[in-house]
Amino acid sequence: MGKPDCDRSDLLVENVWGVPRSPDEFVKPAELARLRALFFHRCTARARELEDAEQELKKSMPGGHVATILAPKRLLLWRGLMEEFGYPALEVFDVASGVDWDEALGSTAAAAEATQ
């Protein structure tokens, strides 16, 4: 058995595998991932800066279900992001202090009277 003749061009076959994409199509997802990673890195760093202020805010909250629900949330970071991105209804942040139902609905007696 002799050595195969690889110099014959009629025996060579070129195979190309993959999905053809332009350089921009190839790089664009990586750039988006980079920007997202930078954003979350910045948010994480800002959350660390706000830790003491977050603890003080949570200590000032009324006890009960509101404090329990909001305990793991980073409220000051959330508010900062809303301000940074121009969120039009910053008063939504005030919900963090809870809702005074007597104030929102009037006194209980007045509410009961209205239903009769």
Count of C-beta atoms within a 10 Å radius of residue 77? 19
- Give the separation between CA 74 and CA 50, rounded to whole angstroms: 9
Task: Estimate to the nearest angstrom the gap between the alpha carbon of 76 and the chain centroid.
Answer: 14
Q: Is the pTM of this model over 0.75?
A: no
Q: Which residue has the higher pLDDT, 30 or 14?
A: 30
Q: What is the pLDDT of residue 109?
A: 56
Query: Is the pLDDT assigned to residue 45 strictly greater than 70?
Result: yes
Q: Which residue has the higher pLDDT, 88 or 111?
A: 88
Cα angle 89, 93, 94 (rounded to 5 degrees) comes to: 110
Domain boundaries of the chain, sorted by first residue: 22-115
List Cα–Cα distances, 64 to 1, 9, 68, 89, 109, in angstroms: 88, 82, 6, 26, 24
Six token digits for residue 91: 């008063």
- Buried b / exposed e over 27-49, threshold 16 CB at 10 Å, is eeeeeeeeeeeeeeeeeeeeeee
